[in-house]
Amino acid sequence: MIKFFLMVNKQGQTRLSKYYEHVDINKRTFLETEVIKSCLSRSNEQCSFIEYKDFKLIYRQYAALFIVVGVNDTENEMAIYEFIHNFVEVLDEYFSRVSELDVSFFNTVFHGTWQAHSSPYQIGSCSVTQAGVQRCDHGLLHPGSPGLQ
């Protein structure tokens, strides 16, 4: 099961975070700092899967953005790795070449959509491998935007 979802820039600043389990705000800050250090300190030749405490971190880098997903030990790493890529494809389709600024915009403007749907993929409270990854209608990301597909 997914525990959290982070989007972080190369400077280590969190641009978007979503937690699927309650984590105290002080612990979130510490957790994000440690997770970001773990991911940013790795070279491009190293694996994108990290065992961290009682869960696993799966991350991918897209230009200046890192997307990090924390999952429990039973989750399929490759399914999450592909989930991250599909999420970026949705953002890229909406923003046509997603950037760090777009992520900030996405987080601000579509916060209600993010809360209502958890992500552009319907994963509910079960794991991605149990549910399968099902795309939502992209129209959900474009409320009232004529001319976008």
65 φ/ψ sector (left φ>0, alpha ψ -120 to 50, else beta): beta
- Give pLDDT tens digits for 5-22: 998 888 888 888 899 999
Q: Looking at the DSSP assignment, which residues form a beta bridge with residue 85?
A: none
CA nearest to 68, candidates 91, 34, 43: 34
Local structure of 12: helix, strand or coil: coil
Considering 39-43, 132-136, 142-146, the range whose residues carry the highest mean pLDDT is 39-43
| pTM over cut 0.75 | no
User: What are 54-68's pLDDT values in tens digits?
Assistant: 899 999 988 888 899
Beta bridge partners of residue 68, listed in sequence order: 6, 59
